[in-house]
Structure 1
Amino acid sequence: MINVIVSYTINPDFVSENKANIQNFLNDFKNLNQETFEYKVFIKEDGVTFVHYSNYINEEVQHEVLNVPSFKEFQRLRDESGLNGSHKVEILQSI
């Protein structure tokens, strides 16, 4: 199992667009086998920091999920919005 947490802070004026972009890829993820991965998105109390939690049964599934076109577009738009070095990826180990 691969477990990942990604967090980033965006500019306040990009929050609505980011939420819409997230909803787009989450809708597309529904077309994938939901038994092979989990993907959840949260927003912190500050209203501008997003946390994405995901887990995948293997690298093949992770690759499939992360290459959905709407997800790649979300990433591009998010990155272009200006993250100011806040993007952080953490791989979690199960115990």
Structure 2
Amino acid sequence: MIAVQVTYKVKAGFVEENKANINAFLADFKEMQTSRFLYHVYVKADGLTFVHVSMYESVAMQEQVLNTPSFVKFQQSRDESGLNELPIIENLTHLGSSISLIK
């Protein structure tokens, strides 16, 4: 399994557009109807810092998800917005879970 956390901070004027772009790609991810990946998005208390946590069954599944057109658009818009802080990408090692979602 591949697990990744991405954290970034946007400018206040970009928050609503970022949320709209997130909702667009999450809707497309839901349409994929697969149990081969999970994708969660959080916003911290400051309202500007976003945290994306994703888990993928395989590299092929990760590539499929990350190449979804709405996700590519989200990334481009985010990166062109003039972020307050560049994305921090962290690979995570999965130790366990209370439920079994991805093998």
Question: Is this a same-fold pair by TM over 0.5?
Answer: yes
1:54 partner amino acid: S
Give the deviation of 1:7 after TM superposition. 0.4
Instruction: Give the CA RMSD over aligned residues.
Output: 1.0
Unaligned runs of 5+ in 2: 96-103
2:29 partner amino acid: F
Distance 2:63 2:86 in 1: 23
Moved over 3 A (4+): none
Q: Which has the larger radius of gyration?
A: 2
2:23 partner amino acid: Q
Q: For 1:1-95, list aligned pairs within 5 A.
A: 1-95=1-95
Distance 2:69 2:7 in 1: 21
Unaligned runs of 5+ in 1: none
TM (normalized to structure 1)? Answer: 0.95
Identity of matched residues, % = 51
Give the deviation of 1:23 after TM superposition. 0.2
Question: How many residues of Structure 1 are paired with residues of Structure 2 in the alignment?
Answer: 95
2:11/2:84 contact within 8 Å kept: no
1:75 partner amino acid: Q
